[in-house]
Chains A and B, each alone.
Chain A
């Protein structure tokens, strides 16, 4: 039985939550707005919160200053390679650990798991040295190769495979399928959810990664989007920051659209993998 006080309380709380939602989105809104306001109105104080005299000029300027198109291509390329690579290596390894008997299986798996405890920074310096020795400084290989292994992915997929009923695999085996066949026709088709989750997680990580590409890449043509954005800000000598905000907008809007289209799978996948971005 809800008293009027309870109802009022509920509405008050809802109102507060609305405000919170607006405040959380406010920085993006401000950024998007200033990316399309003309220079004389953008970043003005008192700030303008309503669209007026919108213009798309700044977006063109972005391309004049930096190879933005290249950034997108580079990011796409590296993200695709990393995502596909992780899916492939993890699926193969997870299948072996889940389904196959072989000497040293448990030890090898525990060693893998133990590496989850090691934070990324420990391996950064030696990895850099290795890549430098191989002459791979300032290349895309240096960026994606170390990311093709994802122990968490192996772990999650193994967990999933263990829950799959063996009968289907046995049936396939009787029909003469080898392990590759079993994977292709039985295991993978049944593993939609974790594979999708892993794919989403990997691509989001690779797309947004700044730390590692920042260390390895120095030529503008090779940069990925996050590194390129920061580079743009450095390149920007004179003028209103609208151009920088236009670039940021071009980076954020696609993510926003993707998110709104696929909110559920995305949030679920990130929660599942249990790692902050």
Chain B
């Protein structure tokens, strides 16, 4: 509501009674607003400080100490990080995680995109519905249930996979016990569980591409492949970009399948970095070293995301 033009500032809308003078009333209202604001954000902010900001600082501080939880702590500066650089198991876990993440992203996009394209055409509604449901449903089930189911599917003695492979004449490895096959098996399980997400995102992205662009391309005589390359991909690039980053961040933090299905073995081949952190903190109680490891995870995710943002400028096409 506009104030009467030309009036002096003394005439404010009466809010809560009283005879206000301009400046003071505005100030009081601002004070009240500010107080209300602080009150409103305080539940969230207190929780934030106690459970997010505080621990983040705590982790940084902890990483500079050596502390076994029940004993005394000792300030050792950057020694944890130096040890890390030499720690075979930690390095192995980082390597494993990168491998897992790389394949995760490649497969998610490599399989998710064709799938989204396939579903994006005209098709019987019932098929579309069933497909979307079955691809997306694993996302909703907890990792605990999923890991246990797959543990038995991949069982060497009564798992169905080994059985059918052998029927086909392929000497099936004992997946979860074979150092060469355990991680690939987990990658496939993770793919099965989470591809629904990438699929939905990409599908939404595809559906957001204005059809007139395709019409124009068709008029220009572009083939299907050309249409894909020149219309679909560029228009989808923001979504692809988003999906890549999200998939990366999620895959890098993978924990449950290795914890439940293989325990990080065999021979540390499925030890992910988060699982290594878990073991360091909650089995060996090396709180300082675990914090250092966690900070490394943080930094890696940040760097890779920034790099992706950088590279993104070259291939992501914004309208």
Direct contact of A and B (CB under 8 A): yes
The contact size tier of chain B is 35 or more
> Which chain A residues border B249 with CB–CB below 8 Å?
119
> Which chain B residues border A45 with CB–CB below 8 Å?
158, 163
> Which chain A residues border B51 with CB–CB below 8 Å?
123, 127, 145-146, 149
Q: In this assembly, does B311 line the interface, its C-beta being within 8 Å of a C-beta of chain A?
A: no
* Residues B62 and A125 in contact, CB atoms below 8 Å apart: yes
Q: Which of A43, A126, A130, A263 has the most CB of B within 10 A?
A: A126
Q: In this assembly, does A154 line the interface, its C-beta being within 8 Å of a C-beta of chain B?
A: yes
Q: In this assembly, does A139 line the interface, its C-beta being within 8 Å of a C-beta of chain B?
A: no
* Residues A241 and B152 in contact, CB atoms below 8 Å apart: yes
Known: A96-B41, A121-B277, A121-B297. A255 touches B141 (CB 8 A): yes
**Which B-chain residue is minimally distant from A173 (CB atoms)?**
B15
Interface residues of B, dominant DSSP: helix
Q: In this assembly, does A160 line the interface, its C-beta being within 8 Å of a C-beta of chain B?
A: no
Cα(A157)–Cα(B131), bound, Å = 31
Partner of A43, one of B134, B158, B294: B158
* Residues A122 and B160 in contact, CB atoms below 8 Å apart: no
* Residues B282 and A215 in contact, CB atoms below 8 Å apart: yes
Cα(A225)–Cα(B200), bound, Å = 27
> Which chain B residues border A18 with CB–CB below 8 Å?
127, 130-131
Q: Which of B152, B250, B291 has the most CB of A within 10 A?
A: B152
Cα(A173)–Cα(B40), bound, Å = 17
Binary flags per residue of B167-180, CB closer than 8 Å to A gives 1, else 0: 00000000000000
Cα(A154)–Cα(B197), bound, Å = 22
**Which A-chain residue is minimally distant from B13 (CB atoms)?**
A174
* Residues B53 and A122 in contact, CB atoms below 8 Å apart: no
Cα(A45)–Cα(B278), bound, Å = 37
Q: In this assembly, does B76 line the interface, its C-beta being within 8 Å of a C-beta of chain A?
A: no
Q: In this assembly, does A193 line the interface, its C-beta being within 8 Å of a C-beta of chain B?
A: no
Q: In this assembly, does A115 line the interface, its C-beta being within 8 Å of a C-beta of chain B?
A: yes
Interface residues of A, dominant DSSP: helix
- The interface stretch among B42-50, B87-95, B208-216, B226-234 is B42-50
Q: In this assembly, does B153 line the interface, its C-beta being within 8 Å of a C-beta of chain A?
A: yes
Cα(A230)–Cα(B277), bound, Å = 20
Binary flags per residue of A151-172, CB closer than 8 Å to B gives 1, else 0: 1001000000000000000100
> Which chain B residues border A178 with CB–CB below 8 Å?
36
> Which chain B residues border A102 with CB–CB below 8 Å?
33-34, 37-38
**Which B-chain residue is minimally distant from A171 (CB atoms)?**
B1
* Residues A226 and B41 in contact, CB atoms below 8 Å apart: no
Q: In this assembly, does A88 line the interface, its C-beta being within 8 Å of a C-beta of chain B?
A: yes
From residue A104, how far is it (CB to closest CB) to chain B in Å?
9
Q: Which of A45, A121, A126 has the most CB of B within 10 A?
A: A121
> Which chain B residues border A241 with CB–CB below 8 Å?
152
Known: A45-B163, A121-B294, A229-B144. A126 touches B48 (CB 8 A): no
* Residues B143 and A276 in contact, CB atoms below 8 Å apart: no
28 contacts between A and B (CB under 8 A): A14-B123, A22-B134, A24-B135, A101-B30, A105-B37, A112-B45, A118-B298, A119-B297, A119-B298, A120-B253, A124-B55, A125-B55, A125-B287, A126-B59, A146-B47, A148-B47, A151-B48, A151-B52, A174-B13, A210-B143, A210-B256, A227-B144, A230-B144, A248-B145, A255-B141, A259-B140, A276-B246, A276-B247
Q: Which 3 A-B pairs have the closest CB atoms?
A: A126-B58, A208-B142, A226-B144
Beyond A13-B118, A119-B298, 19 extra complex contacts between A and B, CB < 8 Å? A21-B127, A43-B158, A101-B33, A101-B34, A112-B48, A115-B48, A118-B52, A122-B56, A123-B55, A124-B281, A126-B54, A146-B47, A149-B47, A226-B143, A229-B144, A229-B145, A230-B147, A255-B141, A271-B197
